[in-house]
Amino acid sequence: MHLSVTLTGLEPLLQTLLQELPEALNPPMLRRALVAAGEPIRAGMQARAPRGPDAPHLAESIIVRPLAPGELEAVTDDTAGVEIGPTQGFFYGYFFEFGTVKLPARPFARPAFDSGQAAALQIVEQQLGAAIERALKRNRPQS
């Protein structure tokens, strides 16, 4: 048995993708997707962070912050990144995460990352996929 398939229209689609993807996936879009994707990890960190008897608590200081281009290790025109963790005033979260000579480690960031990474990747996939779909719909020939 022999099966043959012919695809037509692939060249215009590829041209549209090459033209529209860079615009659809620009750094602001990437940052929005990464901030949204950081939320499950941030929530996991907040749930696991140590709480003392007095407020304010380390858990309430955990944020998702987009990084400026100068803060990224690999700086190009199309990069984006986020930072997830306690604000500067709660720097001691580092000591809880990794421990000290006198304080045993009580990790909360790494377990949150491990348990939240699948959800974060799914959010990135959804957000970037939606951006690509919008770009393709804008340039799809009307019939």
What are the pLDDT digits (tens) for 28-45?
Answer: 888 899 999 999 999 999
For residues 129 and 19, which has the higher predicted lDDT (pLDDT)? 129
- Residue ranges of the domains in the chain? 25-138
Provide the pLDDT for residue 118.
94
* Nearest-angstrom CA–CA distance, 94 and 90: 9
Beta bridge pairs of residue 82: 66
Q: Above 80 in pLDDT, residue 51?
A: yes
In order, the DSSP letters of 60-102 are: GGEEEEEPPGGGSSS--TT---EEEEE-GGGTTHHHHHH--SS
Confidence of residue 62 (pLDDT cuts 50, 70, 90): very high
Torsion of CA 101, 102, 104, 106, to 10 degrees: -110
Higher-confidence residue of 44 and 68: namely 44
Q: 105-126 burial string, b = 16+ CB within 10 Å, else e?
A: eeebbeebbeebeeebeebbee
pLDDT digits (tens, 9 = 90+) for 73-110: 765 656 788 899 999 999 999 999 999 999 999 999 99
Q: What is the pTM of this model?
A: 0.77
Tokens of 4: 């043959």
Tokens (6 digits) for 45: 């960190």
111 or 17, which is more confident: 111
Whether 116 contacts 62, CB under 8 Å: no
